[in-house]
Amino acid sequence: MRPPLLFRPSVARGTVSAMILIEAAIEKKFRPAGLRKRDIAGFLSRALEAAKLPGRVTVLLTGDEQMRHFNRVFRHKDKATDVLSFPAFQLNGNKKLAGDLAISVEMAAREAKERKHPLQVELKILLLHGVLHLAGGDHETDSGQMARKEERLRKQLGLEQGLILRTRNPERRAQIPTFRSSTPASEEHARRGPRLAKDGPAGSVPDKKSPVRKSRAAASVARTKTRRSRKR
């Protein structure tokens, strides 16, 4: 079975910076719980602007089974996870593309219930975290830069908590170290290349190409071959 992410609509000729794809079964299951596509897309656009991340981002809202598949294929972890990020710089260097995110709505719903806040809030927490990974952040290897940035942006965007500090200290907010890097996170991440994030609840960056880009590259090759055959 091919991942639903492979059927991403092309937006190459448009001006859309944020696109949300929701699996039909997930939308049907969670619409009564407050799943709202327009609200999520609006938040994603604001998060991209706040993070100063240029280029388009597509988000797939899916379930645990699909996320387990992605996690197994791209991170070699045979279990579901909450959010996966596919930064574009490690895929094809196209500056018009920031990357892709995949989120388990089922896992987000369980977390939202446990923390007694709306599903939309939990999805926004995961979206912001994923966007920061797309911007080059790596909280598993840095000295607190991504955590500080997430705290600053979540306040700016009206969120009560960020994923990193919440995961590190569920009872109270941790004190963030004051170390500052002289190199922007995105430049540092690009310089050292893609990394396989450690397994954990606070998001992850796969070490393989996004299924979205693989599909798009294959389609591009097919179109080129078709044009050449027509010229003959």
pLDDT in tens, 118-150: 999 999 999 999 999 999 988 988 889 999 999
Distance between CA 121 and CA 100 in Å, rounded? 20
Q: How confident is the model at residue 199 (pLDDT cuts 50, 70, 90)?
A: very low
pTM: 0.70
Residue 96: predicted pLDDT:
78
Find tokens 């027509």 and name the residue: 230
Q: Between these two residues, 32 and 204, which has the higher pLDDT value?
A: 32
pLDDT digits (tens, 9 = 90+) for 9-43: 544 444 558 899 999 999 999 999 999 999 999 99
Residue 69 confidence (pLDDT) above 80: yes
Q: What's the CA gap between 189 and 184, in Å, rounded?
A: 9
Give the whole-angstrom CA distance, residue 7 versus residue 224: 20
Are 107 and 30 in contact by the 8 Å Cβ rule? The answer is no
Q: Which of 118, 116, 135, 119 is nearest to 203 (CA)?
A: 135
- Residue 204 and residue 130: Cα distance in Å, rounded? 8
The predicted structure's pLDDT at residue 206: 64
Measured CA to CA, the distance from residue 133 to residue 135 in angstroms comes to 5
Q: Which residues contact 38 (CB under 8 A, 6 or more apart)?
A: none
- pLDDT tens per residue, range 75-96: 999 999 999 999 875 445 556 7
pLDDT of residue 204: 58
Amino acid present at 134: L
* Confidence band of 200 (pLDDT split at 50, 70, 90): very low
Taking residue 152's Cβ as centre, other Cβ atoms within 10 Å add up to 13
d(CA 202, CA 82) in angstroms, rounded, equals 8
The domains found in the chain, sorted by start residue, are 14-177+188-231 (3.40.390.30)
Assess whether pLDDT exceeds 90 at residue 203.
Answer: no
76 or 231: whose pLDDT is higher?
76
Residue 118: CB atoms within 10 A of its CB come to: 13
Taking a C-beta distance cutoff of 8 angstroms, is the pair 136, 185 a contact?
yes
Confidence of residue 7 (pLDDT cuts 50, 70, 90): very low
- What amino acid occupies position 132? L
Query: Shortest CA distance to 124 belongs to which of 63, 36, 192?
Result: 36
Beta-strand relationship, 56-62 and 97-104:
parallel
What is the chain's mean pLDDT, rounded? 75
